[in-house]
Copies of this chain bind each other. A is one copy, B any other.
Amino acid sequence: VIPTVDPPYYAVIFASRHKGDDPEYAVIADRMMELAADQPGFLGMDSVREPGGSGITVCYWRDLASIRGWKEQAEHRHAQELGRQRFYSGFELCIARVEHRYAWEGQQP
């Protein structure tokens, strides 16, 4: 969910290509989601993955310092290493400053 706090805040957009369907991946991904949510400055996360294919995860943070904190978190660093060795054939990420948010909640039934 894109956070409802007032902008500006930051998004880390992570686009990954997966080697295959390693059953360990979901375990690590779930743990990282749980761990990130406990980090200072965490505002929210959206993650979508096509089976066996590509994934996009967007993680929202209060500021650049909280992104740096998460990047350096020990258990997360270990997971990053595992990702490069085992799960991903490649990935890209970018850091972007969110300036505007819009939501459409749909027609209520």
Residues of chain A at the chain B interface (Cβ within 8 Å): 1-2, 7, 10-11, 13, 15, 46-50, 53-56, 58, 84, 88-106
Q: Which of B11, B13, B103 contacts A91 (CB 8 A)?
A: B103
State whether B11 touches A2 (Cβ < 8 A): no
Copies in the complex: 2
Identify the 4 closest CB pairs spanning chains A and B, nearest first: A96-B96, A90-B106, A2-B92, A92-B103
The answer to whether B58 and A13 have CB atoms under 8 Å apart is yes
Tell me the complex Cα distance, A56–B45, Å: 12
Task: Tell me, in angstroms, the Cα distance from A91 to B48 when the chains sit together.
Answer: 14
Closest to A53 in B: B48
Do residues B98 and A96 form an inter-chain contact, with CB atoms below 8 A? yes
A101: chain B residues within 8 A (beta carbon): 92-94
* Cβ-defined partner of A96 (8 Å) among B11, B53, B103, B106: B11
State how many angstroms separate the Cβ of A109 from the closest Cβ of chain B: 10
Q: Would you call A97 and B97 a contact (CB within 8 A)?
A: yes
